[in-house]
Amino acid sequence: MELAQIIITEEEIKQRVAELGAQITADYQGRDLFVICILKGAAVFMSDLIRQIKVPVEIDFMSLSSYGASTKTSGVVRMLRDLDREIAGKHILVVEDIVDTGLTLSYLKENLMVRKPASLKICTFLDKPSRRQVDLKPDYCGREIEDYFVVGYGLDFNEKGRELPYVAIVKE
């Protein structure tokens, strides 16, 4: 895997995550928050984000797949890991690494709403609105990007690149 260029530096990431944490803290003041991390990509972002949120937080994990070993989504969503706990009556924040077509998150949102949470919002680190195939807009977004395939800060290409402290475009 060869990188073309860094588009978000480590310092820019730290600043934006702190801003998102402050915004989420303000929005959930006086309430407990149940954070659902979408594995594997969002684990790095979620870990940094929850340390910036100043309300009580519970976490759980889900794993979904629509990519396989490709750089393009297949459109078929598979649930690989479900939650360990019930979410009925809880204020849910789904934390995702990147929203692309929106198909995976749209499927997930429907799946979670059936479980009757008190509220459900989506926080993504990166958003590619130009690729959207469904009507879905994240409630919190670290940054919008063009239609590049990127790695770093939890995002990968064939399980490589997640450890990079910045976000970079993968060379075609």
Domain ranges of the chain: 11-24+31-145
Per the annotation, the verdict on 97 as an active-site residue is no
Model pLDDT, residue 77: 81
Q: At 162, is the secondary structure helix, strand, or coil? A: coil
To the nearest 10°, the Cα dihedral for 131, 133, 112, 33?
30
The model's confidence at residue 78, banded by pLDDT at 50, 70 and 90, is: confident
Nearest 5°: CA angle at 155, between 154 and 160? 95
Helix H or strand E segment including 83: none
Say which of 48, 100, 127, 156 is annotated catalytic.
Answer: 100
**Chain centre to alpha carbon of residue 59:** 14
Query: Is residue 64 within 8 Å of residue 104, measured between CB atoms?
Result: yes
pLDDT at 1 over 70: yes
Average pLDDT, the chain: 94
For the chain, what's the residue count? 172
> For domain 11-24+31-145, is the CATH number 3.40.50.300?
no
**Residue 51 predicted with pLDDT over 60:** yes
Handedness of CA 28, 32, 38, 42 (dihedral sign): positive
Q: Tokens at residue 131, please? A: 């690729």
